[in-house]
């Protein structure tokens, strides 16, 4: 049993790169994941991979971190579904 087993984790920028890799790593520890990003098609692919890798539950969520309402919705989703969240990984970014 992992110390992350059953913990709820929100990850922004989860549709690719470091965010997706982090999500997959945490999935193997049986965490509940809320995956937030702007590209729902890629986010759903990562969500499927996380589920296959062992995540307890995975919720893909359309989210632009430049919009406060989107961040509030991610937090609200965690609280409504899991009564809390344990970790938030603010990974979203833009490369040039």
For 23-43, give one letter per residue: b (16+ CB within 10 A) or e: bbebbebbbbbbbbbbeeebb
Q: Provide the CB-side half-sphere exposure for 20 (13 A, CA).
A: 15
Tokens of 64: 């632009």
Q: Are 86 and 7 in contact (CB under 8 A)?
A: yes
Is the pLDDT confidence value at 1 over 80?
A: no
Beta-bridge mates of residue 11: 35, 89
What confidence tens digit (pLDDT) does each residue in 22-70 have? 999 999 999 999 999 999 999 999 999 999 999 999 999 999 999 999 9
Q: What is the pTM of this model?
A: 0.94
Is the pLDDT confidence value at 95 over 70?
A: no
Residue 92 parent element (H or E): none
The span from the CA of 40 to the CA of 12, in Å, is 12
């Amino acid at each position: 049993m992992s110390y992350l087993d059953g913990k709820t984790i929100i990850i922004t920028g989860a549709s690719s790169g470091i965010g997706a890799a982090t999500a997959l790593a945490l999935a193997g520890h049986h965490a509940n994941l809320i995956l937030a990003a702007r590209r729902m098609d890629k986010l759903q692919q990562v969500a499927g991979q996380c589920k296959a890798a062992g995540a307890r539950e995975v919720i893909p969520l359309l989210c632009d971190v430049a919009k406060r309402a989107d961040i509030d919705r991610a937090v609200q989703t965690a609280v409504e579904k899991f009564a809390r969240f344990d970790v938030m990984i603010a990974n979203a970014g833009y490369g040039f």
